[in-house]
Amino acid sequence: MLLAPLRWAIRITALVLGILVLYFGVTLVQVWLTSRHYDPHPAGAILVMGAAQYNCTPTLDLQARLDEALELYRQGYAHLIMVTGSKEPGDKCTESESGAMYLESKGVPASAILEAGGRDSYQNIEDAVPILKAHDATSVLVSTDPFHEDRSMGIASSLSLSPSPTPTQTSPIRGWSTVPYFAKEAVGVGLGRIIGFNHLEWLHLVA
């Protein structure tokens, strides 16, 4: 009789762990499926998620996101490109500034480029929302790495935007190197749905 409570505690713990494994496993599949979904169509703006830059030059990761936005812009899917991202201490430019300069060097007029800040994915979109709304551009094509698409769209939806997936086709992060990124995103999406995407500030620090 004395062991009965212990047995129940073990069973309940095992059940909870099983539910969590199933939940995050399903979320991982959803993140993967979204990474493979490419659905460009006419929208108010193309939203480029921030990524690192060095000395005002986009990294290959950010450049891939910008190149996708540039291609969508040239194809006429949207007439505005929203670049996002702030800067680290000591940086000359913000991620959005380096993105804007890159796009202008490719022929996009400054009048077609909008800029927002933010140190993580949630802040990127949160800062962009009022600017997008001011331009009546709440439908957006989200340009980011494939593994990052699901969470970006989840954040955008939670902030009253209407997002569509347009993950970059030229991300430098590919093959087996994407595994930890997909795992991180599964955790981020899974937790974000439960506690809110605005409570995941720590996630951008995790490789």
Q: Report residue 35 as tokens.
A: 């990474």
In a domain, 127, yes or no: yes
Q: Are 145 and 61 in contact (CB under 8 A)?
A: yes
In a domain, 56, yes or no: yes
**Residue from 140, 102, 100 nearest 116 by CA:** 100
Range of the domain at 113: 34-196
DSSP structure class, residue 91: -
pLDDT at residue 137 is higher than 50 = yes
In a domain, 13, yes or no: no
pLDDT digits (tens, 9 = 90+) for 49-66: 999 999 999 999 999 999
Contacts of 75 (CB under 8 A, 6+ apart): 40
| Average pLDDT estimate for 162-179 | 96
The pLDDT value given to residue 89: 85
The pLDDT value given to residue 207: 41
CA dihedral 51, 55, 60, 63 (to 10 degrees): 70
pLDDT at residue 185 is higher than 90 = yes
In a domain, 25, yes or no: no
In sign, the C-alpha dihedral spanning 198, 201, 206, 207 is positive
In a domain, 72, yes or no: yes
pLDDT digits (tens, 9 = 90+) for 83-104: 999 988 888 999 999 999 999 9
What is the per-residue DSSP string for 98-148?
Answer: HHHHHHHHTT--GGGEEE---SSHHHHHHHHHHHHHHTT--EEEEES-GGG
pLDDT at residue 2 is higher than 70 = no
Q: What proportion of the chain, given as a percentage, has pLDDT over 90? A: 83
pLDDT at residue 204 is higher than 80 = no
Domains identified in the chain, total number: 1
Q: Report residue 199 as tokens.
A: 């409570």
The pLDDT value given to residue 195: 93
In this structure, what CATH number is given to the domain that contains residue 103? 3.40.50.620
In a domain, 159, yes or no: yes
Length of the chain: 207
In a domain, 7, yes or no: no
Contacts of 166 (CB under 8 A, 6+ apart): 38, 39, 40, 46, 68, 72, 141, 142, 143
pLDDT digits (tens, 9 = 90+) for 32-52: 999 999 999 999 999 999 999
The predicted model scores a pTM of 0.90
pLDDT at residue 23 is higher than 60 = yes
In a domain, 6, yes or no: no
Q: Are 151 and 198 in contact (CB under 8 A)?
A: no
The pLDDT value given to residue 197: 93
pLDDT at residue 175 is higher than 60 = yes
Q: Report residue 47 as tokens.
A: 């939203």
